[in-house]
Amino acid sequence: MDLITTIPTLPPRPLDAHKGTFGSAAVIGGSVGSMPIHPRMLGAPALAAGGAARAGCGLVRIAVPEPMLNTVLEMCPFATGYGLAIGADGDLIAHECAPVLDRLIDTNTALIIGPGLGGGAGVTKLVLRAVGQTEIPVVVDADALNALSGTTDFAGDLRANAVLTPHPGEARGLCMALSIAGDPAGSDEERTGVCAQIAQRLGCVVVLKGHRTVVSDGHAFWICQRGHPCMATGGTGDVLSGVIGSLIAQCSPGSVLTPLQCAILGVQGHAIAGERWAAGSDASGGMLATDLIEKIPAAIGSLRGS
């Protein structure tokens, strides 16, 4: 397996561009928390949407459970929204959510699914529908990864051009489901091996998050050398999924960069943004995920060609 040593370059943005030039990203996430011991999660999809917008895609659309839609849109006035139907237990009603998913697939160039999505049979069915389509690339994060890990033989359902973004705990669940040995929180060598094995088994790109994040498509790998401890806080992973989805959305219309390259650029830009917040704040902690979002445009811009 080859080590990638050169960071790809994002193309310059043409002066005559319009919002359609830079693609559109859709975020599916959020949970109303009605099921026992399940918290309400509306920040995660908003953070992913914010990361997507700040990374430069032309349009962001967001789909969350209907009861929280207006609140999430107040947090994301740049986005347009769709409500997802839920039952009395708070779980998604899969057959009523399916037309929303299909609409998002038809009208966007990348999909991000999972931030704060919660659990339940309806969530699992929606996630399987998202990863089973082949029309647009999909970034699979957070609870969507957990839904896959809890599905028997889910590898056969994954047909989309996908980027999976697990933290070590989520990667451990994937490893158990796929009978892959190794510690996703181990040494660089062990983490790289686990990341590559998951990618090989699923035929996708895997971003194994953490200190020295590993990105692999099963044939080559890259290890991030940037970042800062201030990024070890809730919500930064949601921002990353949005950034990666945004870059894929921007590059998909003309196939400028591959999903692997977009994932590398997204991780690098995300890490640089964290470094810049720490330097500007003279602090090693206390950063909010919303603070990180504000540093994304300049960080991504530093990776762009002239």
Provide the pLDDT for residue 254.
Answer: 58
Domain boundaries, the chain: 21-301
- % the chain with pLDDT above 70: 97
**Using one digit for the tens of pLDDT, what is the confidence trace for 96-148?**
999 999 999 999 999 999 999 999 999 999 999 999 999 999 999 999 999 99
Tokens (6 digits) for 47? 């953070």
Which residues, including other chains, have CB under 8 Å from residue 37's CB and lie 6 or more apart?
A: none
Provide the pLDDT for residue 219.
Answer: 96
d(CA 274, CA 120) in angstroms, rounded, equals 34
- Place 14 in a pLDDT band, splitting at 50, 70 and 90: confident
Query: Would you put residue 226 in left (φ > 0), alpha (ψ -120 to 50) or beta?
Result: beta
SS3 for 214?
Answer: strand
What amino acid occupies position 272?
I
What amino acid occupies position 162?
A
- Classify 21-301 by CATH class: alpha beta
Cβ count near 9 (within 10 Å): 13
Query: Residue 251: which H helix or E strand, with range?
Result: helix 236-251
Mean pLDDT, the chain, rounded, equals: 95
**Using one digit for the tens of pLDDT, what is the confidence trace for 181-236?**
999 999 999 999 999 999 999 999 999 999 999 999 999 999 999 999 999 999 99
Provide the pLDDT for residue 1.
Answer: 84
DSSP bridge pairs for 306: none
Provide mean pLDDT across the span 151-160: 94
Provide the pLDDT for residue 39.
Answer: 75
Provide the pLDDT for residue 20.
Answer: 87
Provide the pLDDT for residue 89.
Answer: 86
**Any alpha helices (H) in 56-167, and if so which ranges?**
69-75, 94-107, 121-132, 142-149
**Using one digit for the tens of pLDDT, what is the confidence trace for 37-71?**
667 788 999 999 999 999 999 999 999 999 999 99
Provide the pLDDT for residue 41.
Answer: 84
Provide mean pLDDT across the span 78-89: 95
Provide the pLDDT for residue 63.
Answer: 98
- Place 261 in a pLDDT band, splitting at 50, 70 and 90: very high
Provide the pLDDT for residue 34.
Answer: 66
What is the pTM (predicted TM-score) of this model? 0.97
- Which of 111, 74, 59 is closest to 245 using CA atoms? 111
**Using one digit for the tens of pLDDT, what is the confidence trace for 16-46?**
988 888 999 999 999 987 656 667 788 999 9
d(CA 204, CA 164) in angstroms, rounded, equals 7
